Every structure is written in C-alpha cells, then in structure tokens.
Amino acid sequence: MQVLAAAGNYSSSTSYTILSATGGISGTFAGVTSNLACLTPLLTYNANNVNLLLTRNSTSFASVGVTPNQIAAGGGVESIGAGNGVCSISRRRKPDMPSISSPARFLPRSRAC
C-alpha cells in the first residue's frame, strides 16, 4: 500500500481506519510506504478493520533541508519541542508545498515532513 499524504495537519501519532469489513478481514497488505519523511506508516489489523498508524520517526526536520537556512530553521523548530504549536505546524503536509514553517518548503514532496 502506498500512502500519498494530502493537505492537512498530521500529529506525531495518528490512526486512520482505511478498510472496514463487517464479514471480517482476510489477508494482509504486502507492506506500506508514504511520502512523508518525518512520519512512519504502519498497518495494524483486527478482525474487521485495517488501520493505518502514522508516527513521528527519528528523521529530523533539519536533515530534510537543503539550504543552510532550511537546515537552521529545521533545527530551531525541533529545539522548541514536540508540544509547541510551531513544531506541530511543521508536520503539516500539503501536496504542492510543505507548510510555511517547514524547513523543507522548497524540497520535492517525497522529502517533505
């Protein structure tokens, strides 16, 4: 399964039910990938549902920057801490442009947080 992030806010841990079957689920997906550099996708299964869990990984915001300013901005945002609103905004994903505060705003979508 390939997850292509849409515009919106992504917290450091979010679960989505992506498939629900009253008669039950049989089988599993071979794997899962996403276009979010800073969130790792994981599929979980129960009797009637397949859930997608996106969790913050160890990829730093600075590491996806290209220019010195992007790298410095990424490091600054992360130094504020995960509970801060600026850090949450930085995880916002937009198809055509990563968030305004993201240090990776000029990077290809596949590298944006």
Tens of pLDDT, residues 74-89: 888 888 876 666 655 4
- Say how many CA atoms lie within 13 Å of 84 toward its Cβ: 10
Q: How far apart are the first and last CA of the chain?
A: 19
For 5-47, list the strands marked E by DSSP.
13-20, 33-34, 39-45
Q: Does residue 113 form part of some domain? A: no
Is 25 inside any structural domain? yes
pLDDT at 96 over 60: no
- Global pTM reads 0.68
**In this structure, are 17 and 44 located in the same domain?**
yes
Whether 32 maps to a domain, the answer reads yes
Residues 33 and 6 in one domain: yes
21 versus 100: the higher-pLDDT residue is: 21
Extract the runs of DSSP E, i.e. beta strands, from the chain: 2-3, 13-20, 33-34, 39-45, 49-56
Structural domain of residue 32, as residue ranges?
Answer: 2-56
Q: Are residues 39 and 82 in the same domain?
A: no
Which amino acid appears at position 66 of this protein?
V
Q: What's the structural domain count of the chain?
A: 2
Decide: 42 and 32 in contact? Cβ < 8 Å: yes
> Does residue 112 fall inside a structural domain?
no
Tens-place pLDDT, residues 18-50: 999 999 999 999 999 988 888 899 999 999 999
